[in-house]
A and B are shown apart, each in its own frame.
Chain A
């Protein structure tokens, strides 16, 4: 059952029995704090919740037991005023308290909104402190709507950048995309909570990976291996299905996962974590199928760790969660970005001409690609880049991802218009 690249058990370093893993969820700032109540009452033991904010009113409003007011001395409970620098300073000020808070937990989830001051500023400081204490830090963050304005988006992007350097993985939840999932007649307040739900499911999925024993088990060291390196983009997808063909349904559903369309998330992984939950009727065949399909979709060369669990109440139900990380240097880049100056082209032109004599002119359709592939093969390098040019290079600008911004009156026209206008497409 074990294939070369398919590690089922990690055996490096200290093996921490699953029963002893302690997980801490930190809700930072207004948006972050609001994400936490959704995690209560789901039977997740060993999951500790805490909220941190510079605004005392926010803290008092939430039904979470453990609260901490950030930057008491400098901000006096009045909030950061939407300024990330204030948020960061407040967190630095409370360095020791934060350290005390995170110490002893193996894993820290951070929830925060990236557009504001506390979430945007304090989150990366807190992530850094937690990582320094030896915690594995995974952040789920919301990204403001396009209609909230360019400045807020800019702020959010910077905040995410800083967070990526501090946390082990950052999973952005863009409001633009998630709103597409909301029901047409849902009140706004409820629609905004969609992001909370995605985070909750992500946390639950990882919690299950660690705590439920099953066919294949993932231990903490395996998680650490997946998330060991900081800085790259993450991939996060979730799908579920029901019925006799639940596994395939789950796969199809995962394909539709809005987060896979996110601008900030990757559609490519160098290391992947797959978690499958099914009922007593879950077959090994289904598990193999899911692993194979997910690998071919997101990373044929990826290092994959899989967990699979059978639960009584999951009869004819399958849930799949895939989380992936990429190496910081994105190997996808340069096949398309290459712009050869005139001189270079003239030196290779003689090579091109030879090729052309061989292939019939009538098959024009294939000519450039064939020549290019042959040329690349001959050059011996970068064969990766051909493969990686495949269909899913979906970042926010999709097909135009590798090109310059297409600015008109401050708006990038390459981003889809329906998204910028907040038009919901019901699929």
Chain B
């Protein structure tokens, strides 16, 4: 029988780079990665597009490069979404079980989910994901309440939403290349699925993807997404702080960050100086290692504190069995896990992509696009199951079962 294949692309339009990963789904069951393209980003800051044309050019360059390596064209795109405009909230709903014998029906389940998702959004905003939490039947958490007996059925959703215009910009860039966006995925979720195991998500884990423009985070509890969101502070802010604190240009600061960056100040460094070595050197002078660490430490501390605040009461260190996992380009900074461990009061480690990922793609800056393709495969499986059914251009998709938790 001839193998059926579909070519999908995972695209992340980030602040430092646009990445495109091309995969081929064979028979709706397995995924081969067949192409990869990357281009430096211009026109985005803090994860938000401010110059549409510039970003468009960069994205198209990356897509061309990826398709060239894959030697084929992308059919469907899974697009990552981030940015400071992304917000989230929790809402729950309760319904009385309708049947006289108190047996939960599919209709009950449908009803309670609708109620929980019914909270309106502020104007000009659109839902990115509804992340379902566990069901509760008469106060007891249950994975699947169908046909169980009880009087009150409850469920909660963590809803992530964004500014409609910002999200449209993102989609239009892809459309501008005559490509359809199959689905819009929160970057945090895509990364998290790559660097955590189901066990860890069951035990409780907080994943941080610290890129260049924004930090995306997801908090898992009991296998469900409790909180997900974005803080528009990341690598660029570290660079900027260094530039202003050390009185050097941005380009020089970027070099310093990568070559001499240390997140934890060491008192033994107090007299240590580092040099830029010939980088744009008018008035080249040595820079204080201790000062570098001071600047970076307080910025990271602040960033982690903000993430913790955004997680609210859902974040409790003793309920986080798997601790904190950090991925993204900035996660490679020496000492960053120490600062995280301090602020989150739990263990912290650098995340790793699964072992089946080839060396070229194994770096933490690729967690998101790998996650996008991974999701694409799963989505394809479930779509094939309802072949030919209404394929919406994905702003509202049933994703809960993939990203965490049961089916709905």
A339-B50 in contact given A352-B57, A417-B299 (Cβ < 8 Å): yes
Interface string of A363-377 (1 = CB under 8 A from B): 011011101100000
Residues of A contacting B49 in the complex (Cβ-Cβ under 8 angstroms): 339
Q: Could you show 17 A-B contacts with beta carbons less than 8 Å apart?
A: A255-B283, A339-B49, A342-B52, A344-B53, A345-B52, A349-B176, A356-B64, A392-B249, A394-B243, A398-B243, A399-B45, A399-B250, A403-B46, A403-B50, A408-B231, A417-B298, A418-B295
Q: How far is the CB of B118 from chain A (nearest CB, A)?
A: 29
B46 touches A348 (CB 8 A): no
Residues of B contacting A340 in the complex (Cβ-Cβ under 8 angstroms): 51-53
Q: A395 — nearest CB in chain B belongs to which residue?
A: B244
Besides A338-B53, A339-B49, A408-B231, 16 other A-B contacts (C-beta < 8 A): A251-B283, A341-B52, A345-B53, A349-B176, A361-B64, A367-B58, A368-B61, A372-B57, A394-B243, A399-B236, A399-B243, A413-B233, A413-B302, A418-B294, A426-B290, A427-B247
Distance A399 CA – B257 CA, assembled complex (angstroms): 15
A400 touches B46 (CB 8 A): yes
Q: Which of A386-427 contact B (CB under 8 A)?
A: 391-392, 394, 397-400, 403, 406, 408, 413-414, 416-419, 421, 423, 425-427
Residues of B contacting A346 in the complex (Cβ-Cβ under 8 angstroms): 176
A364 touches B62 (CB 8 A): yes
B68 touches A361 (CB 8 A): yes
Chain A interface residues toward B at CB < 8 A: 251-252, 255-256, 260-261, 293, 336-342, 344-346, 348-349, 352, 356, 361-362, 364-365, 367-369, 371-372, 391-392, 394, 397-400, 403, 406, 408, 413-414, 416-419, 421, 423, 425-427
Distance A119 CA – B250 CA, assembled complex (angstroms): 36
A391 touches B250 (CB 8 A): yes
Q: Is residue B9 contacting chain A, with contact meaning CB distance below 8 A? A: no
Distance A261 CA – B301 CA, assembled complex (angstroms): 24
Q: Is residue B329 contacting chain A, with contact meaning CB distance below 8 A? A: no
Q: How far is the CB of B230 from chain A (nearest CB, A)?
A: 12
Q: Is residue B285 contacting chain A, with contact meaning CB distance below 8 A? A: yes
A423-B298 in contact given A352-B57, A369-B42, A406-B84 (Cβ < 8 Å): yes
* B241: contacting residue among A255, A356, A408, A416, CB under 8 A: A416
* B51: contacting residue among A260, A339, A356, CB under 8 A: A339
Of B249, B283, B306, the most chain A CB neighbours within 10 A belong to B283
Q: Is residue B406 contacting chain A, with contact meaning CB distance below 8 A? A: no
* B39: contacting residue among A341, A349, A367, A425, CB under 8 A: A367
Residues of B contacting A293 in the complex (Cβ-Cβ under 8 angstroms): 282
Residues of A contacting B151 in the complex (Cβ-Cβ under 8 angstroms): none
Q: Is residue B335 contacting chain A, with contact meaning CB distance below 8 A? A: no
Q: Is residue B149 contacting chain A, with contact meaning CB distance below 8 A? A: no
* A364: contacting residue among B61, B237, B243, B246, CB under 8 A: B61
A399-B240 in contact given A365-B40, A426-B291 (Cβ < 8 Å): yes
Of A368, A372, A421, the most chain B CB neighbours within 10 A belong to A368
A416 touches B283 (CB 8 A): no
What is the interface residue range for chain B against chain A?
Answer: 35 or more
Q: Is residue B251 contacting chain A, with contact meaning CB distance below 8 A? A: yes
Q: How far is the CB of B179 from chain A (nearest CB, A)?
A: 14
Residues of A contacting B40 in the complex (Cβ-Cβ under 8 angstroms): 364-365, 368
Q: Is residue B334 contacting chain A, with contact meaning CB distance below 8 A? A: no
* A255: contacting residue among B65, B172, B244, B247, CB under 8 A: B247
Q: How far is the CB of B365 from chain A (nearest CB, A)?
A: 16
Q: How far is the CB of A175 from chain B (nearest CB, A)?
A: 16
Distance A56 CA – B54 CA, assembled complex (angstroms): 60
Q: How far is the CB of A411 from chain B (nearest CB, A)?
A: 9
* A368: contacting residue among B50, B57, B250, CB under 8 A: B57
B245 touches A425 (CB 8 A): yes
Distance A120 CA – B9 CA, assembled complex (angstroms): 58
Q: How far is the CB of B128 from chain A (nearest CB, A)?
A: 20
* B61: contacting residue among A349, A367, A408, CB under 8 A: A367
**What 9 A-B pairs come out closest when comparing CB atoms?**
A391-B249, A252-B283, A416-B241, A425-B291, A417-B299, A364-B39, A368-B57, A399-B240, A417-B298
Q: Is residue B81 contacting chain A, with contact meaning CB distance below 8 A? A: no
Q: Is residue B232 contacting chain A, with contact meaning CB distance below 8 A? A: yes
A400-B240 in contact given A367-B61, A416-B245 (Cβ < 8 Å): yes
Residues of B contacting A416 in the complex (Cβ-Cβ under 8 angstroms): 240-241, 244-245, 295, 299
Q: How far is the CB of A238 from chain B (nearest CB, A)?
A: 14
A261-B247 in contact given A369-B42, A371-B57 (Cβ < 8 Å): yes
Q: Is residue B367 contacting chain A, with contact meaning CB distance below 8 A? A: no
A427 touches B246 (CB 8 A): yes
Q: Is residue B159 contacting chain A, with contact meaning CB distance below 8 A? A: no
A423-B39 in contact given A371-B57, A398-B243, A399-B236 (Cβ < 8 Å): no
A398 touches B250 (CB 8 A): yes
Q: B245 — nearest CB in chain A belongs to which residue?
A: A425
Interface string of B241-264 (1 = CB under 8 A from A): 101111101110000000000000
Q: Which of B57-75 contact A (CB under 8 A)?
A: 57-58, 60-62, 64-65, 68
B68 touches A394 (CB 8 A): no
Q: A349 — nearest CB in chain B belongs to which residue?
A: B176
Residues of B contacting A399 in the complex (Cβ-Cβ under 8 angstroms): 45, 236, 239-240, 243, 250
Distance A340 CA – B54 CA, assembled complex (angstroms): 10
A398 touches B246 (CB 8 A): no
B295 touches A425 (CB 8 A): yes
Distance A352 CA – B42 CA, assembled complex (angstroms): 15
Q: A407 — nearest CB in chain B belongs to which residue?
A: B84
Distance A298 CA – B243 CA, assembled complex (angstroms): 18
Distance A421 CA – B288 CA, assembled complex (angstroms): 19
Of A392, A423, A425, A427, the most chain B CB neighbours within 10 A belong to A425
Residues of A contacting B295 in the complex (Cβ-Cβ under 8 angstroms): 416-418, 423, 425
Distance A356 CA – B68 CA, assembled complex (angstroms): 15
Distance A40 CA – B332 CA, assembled complex (angstroms): 55
Distance A394 CA – B88 CA, assembled complex (angstroms): 33
A336 touches B50 (CB 8 A): yes
Residues of B contacting A336 in the complex (Cβ-Cβ under 8 angstroms): 50-51
Distance A344 CA – B56 CA, assembled complex (angstroms): 12
